[in-house]
Amino acid sequence: MNTQSNAMPESPLESQVIAPAVISATRRMYWSVRRELWENRSIYIAPLAVAGVVVFGFLIATIGRAVATVDPARKAAVLAEPNSFAAGLIMGTAFIVGIFYSLDALYGERRDRSIFFWKSLPVSDLTTVLSKVTIPLIILPLLSFAITVVTQFVMLLLSTAVLLGSGLSVGTLWTQLSFFHMSLMLLYHILTVHGLWYAPIYGWLLLVSAWAPRAPFMWAFLPPFVIWGVEKIAFKTSHFLAMLQYRLTGPEPSTTTAPGGNLMDMLSALTPAQFFSTPGLWIGLLVAAAFLAAAVRLRRYREPI
């Protein structure tokens, strides 16, 4: 006796297997960088705060001095002085933020055990480490450049207003500062020194962040200090310290600047041909790649704290 099944045939839509969405590597990298910006607000808050302090100090001290100065040429010089200082202060702040960010980038997720959640996502250890090193090498330098340019432009407008209010010509001020040239040299310096040249420094800090069981700041700076001390005691030399200073200050420019030249003129003395032909640049990039590869492996197998 034949029985008829009560089961209804599946519809074509129900019989189809829904494939999971494929997320490209570029998309994963993009959202990983966005995650770092969401979780680390000091990346942009600290340079913005310093820029605000610079403008405030410029309003109080520099403009006050300019108003009290009688000589027109000296008045323009007084107004132009703080621009290079503002650029150096904002770039220095970004560098310090990059150091502390790198030390906490991989250590922090092990400390608060959020690494379990992040590893459950379809993002590889390589993508995670690359997204973290992108912050000090690319995001922070470009952000500090943008903040510096805006700050200097605001200061330039305020200086122009002071000169116009005094009945003086603003041509000397704009010629002396050369805003476009100054911004171009600043961008060049940031992309070369703060980006490529400092790569091994940030690579080392990320490696320490991935490995350190406690106190990553101590583990990052104690080994270089010990190496320098052992070399000094054993061989009476300071080659390791000289190498660190060379890495922090950058290669020596091939051309010299006038003693009274501004900061941007000194930065432009390091020509692209000289910079990219410096062996220290390529050796540093190879060392940075080795540090980052070790950091990727450590993140894969290192246990939470």
Burial 25-45 (b: 16+ CB within 10 A, else e): eeebbeebbebbeeebeebbe
Of the two residues 13 and 98, the one the predictor is more confident about is: 98
The alpha carbon torsion through 145, 151, 155, 160 (nearest 10 deg) reads 70
Average pLDDT over residues 168-182: 64
Confidence of residue 46 (pLDDT cuts 50, 70, 90): very high
Least-confidence region, from 13-22, 36-45, 108-117, 210-219: 13-22
> How many whole angstroms separate alpha carbon 298 and alpha carbon 6?
58
262, pLDDT greater than 60: no
Confidence of residue 85 (pLDDT cuts 50, 70, 90): confident
233, pLDDT greater than 60: yes
Report pLDDT for 221.
Answer: 94
216, pLDDT greater than 80: yes
Which pTM was predicted? 0.83
* Coil, helix or strand at residue 164: helix
* Structure-block tokens of residue 201: 């420094």
Give Cβ neighbours of residue 87 (< 8 Å, ≥ 6 apart).
148, 152, 182, 186, 263, 264
Report pLDDT for 79.
Answer: 61
Q: Give me the chain's average pLDDT, please.
A: 82
DSSP state of 276: H
Confidence of residue 302 (pLDDT cuts 50, 70, 90): confident
* Structure-block tokens of residue 264: 């941007």
